[in-house]
Amino acid sequence: MSSRFSSTVARSHFVPPDVGHIELDFEIGSVVDRGRDKESDKNIYKDMASPPQSLPLSAPERIGKYRVLSKLGEGATSDVYLCHDDFNNRDVAVKQVRASAHADSTDARFGERFFAAEAALVGRLQHPNVVQIFDAVPDPIAPYIVMEYVPGNTLRRYCRADSLLSLELVVEMGFKCAMALGYVFRQGLIHRDVKPANLLAVLTHGSVTDVKITDFGSVLNFESDVTQIYRVGSLAYMSPEQLDGSSLDCRADMYGLGAVLFHLIAGRPPFDAPAQAAMVHQVYNAQPASLCGLRSGLSPAVNDVVQRALAKSPDDRYANWDDFAQALSGLISQKQVPRGQIQGVLDSERFNLLRGLEFFSQFGDVELWEVVHRARWQRLSFGHALYRRGEEGRTFHIIAQGELEVFREGQKVAHLKAGTSVGEMAYLAPSEELRRHAADVIVVERATTISFTPESLNQLAPSCRHLFDAAFIKVLVKRLHSAHEALAHPRRIL
């Protein structure tokens, strides 16, 4: 081991020396994982996302109130089962610490810390790209964590040179992870173990369509009073300051995500060596190879974004998660990434489009993501009649791009631009008669709209619906003001 790394372990005042050395020798929460596909590196979440195994004879029929359906996988100290929550009528993943591991003094010491870290987050993280933690039961024999079940794979499967994902998909997932980790950091948390095995790929008809961050056992919780373990993580994705045991901020996870993106693009991690000491030396002193030489057709701009995230000094990385996310999104909007596998508009493009609209100015990131996924997106050509007078309104639209005009008895009465709503009486009107449109609404400049029905809007989270109501009130107040001005000063308005 390099002298620098040895000295940081010895001088750390966060953890006793014997605990620091144990961390280096154990796979869970340690720095020994160099990102290779080998049996010793097997991660419990790798198997959690794989097809369920047949239920072994030794498996319990129930874990607490959760009915066991099948075994998903196992780690060094825990087993993960696919279970059914009969009360909420949903499948869940239950990670249960094995009784033998819980009894062992060494494993128990670490297991209790990791369990406590995740248990503190029950119900706290509500983001579409973060695996939810539903429950934590500190059973004295075999404690367990209940999580959202995500069928699919971890991103480790796509780190091999023969299984690489398209560049646009890698950048899109990087954007979503950056936004999600930004949300996590705003909750007072640093993940500290961002790696492919802790990122779950959501599959739709066999294709990767989304990503979720999981495994918060190594999280650094700024709001916790519990003594926390330091220098945890996986060596191939750990920043130099994390190896040092230095004070961390969001830029430590930023380095980890940069290393993940490098691995997904190149099919190899930014640093690799047969011995841990050599690996540590590279993390501290070597520069990652240029991605342009590792993947054909790669724009230098993509390499620049990833290399900045991998800078040795935190001050040389992006200042915050939003800057990193926008840099990734910019690669797509500036056509630095070839479009191929994904057709149509990417989620990241839709998210950024909504973020710039006045109607959504008070929406947070989580609510915007909900709108991205729940709304119906439409592209409307010039001359298209969005509504006709006398029709019953069943939808309302928010104009994302383009312009519309409102005509009453052939006379133009309003000109609508991006950022406002139209047809909201379909949602707000107290009677069927008031839901009938009193005017024609025509597209005069090719438009993109997002639409909801009253029923689909009611499926949104209450917090998101509240923001819609507030935005509608703001729109209606502006229109009432304009109508008042038109009545008071008709010549000036005309």
Residues labelled as active-site residues: 193
The count of other CB atoms within 10 Å of the CB of residue 105 is 6
Element (H, E) at 262: helix 250-266
Question: Residues of 167-195 as b/e, b for ≥16 C-beta within 10 angstroms?
Answer: bbbbbbbbbbbbbbbbbbbebebbbbbbb
Using alpha carbons only, what angle is made at residue 375 by residues 383 and 203, rounded to the nearest 5 degrees? Answer: 125
Angle, nearest 10°, between helix axes 250-266 and 167-186?
Answer: 170
How many secondary structure helices (H) and strands (E) does the chain include?
17, 17
Q: What is the C-alpha radius of gyration for the chain, rounded to an integer number of angstroms?
A: 26
Beta carbons of 386 and 443 less than 8 angstroms apart: yes
CA distance 241 to 233: 12
Q: Which residues pair with 387 in a beta bridge?
A: 441
CA distance 194 to 239: 11
E-assigned strand segments in 152-261: 152-154, 189-190, 199-204, 207-213, 220-221
Q: Which residues pair with 154 in a beta bridge?
A: 200
- C-alpha distances (whole Å) from 30 to each of 101, 257, 425 are 17, 18, 57
CA distance 370 to 459: 10
Checking phi first, is residue 360 left (phi over 0); if not, alpha (psi -120 to 50) or beta?
alpha
One DSSP character per residue, 10-62 reads HH-SSS-HHHHHHHHH-STTSS---S--SGGG--HHHHHTSPPBPPPTTS-SE
Give alpha helix (H) positions in 267-392. Answer: 276-285, 300-309, 321-333, 347-355, 365-374
- C-alpha distances (whole Å) from 403 to each of 27, 81, 201, 359, 422 are 57, 52, 38, 15, 11
Compute φ and ψ for 472, nearest 5 degrees: -65, -45
Beta carbons of 28 and 77 less than 8 angstroms apart: yes
List the structure tokens of 407: 């005509």
CA–chain centroid gap for 366, Å, is: 10
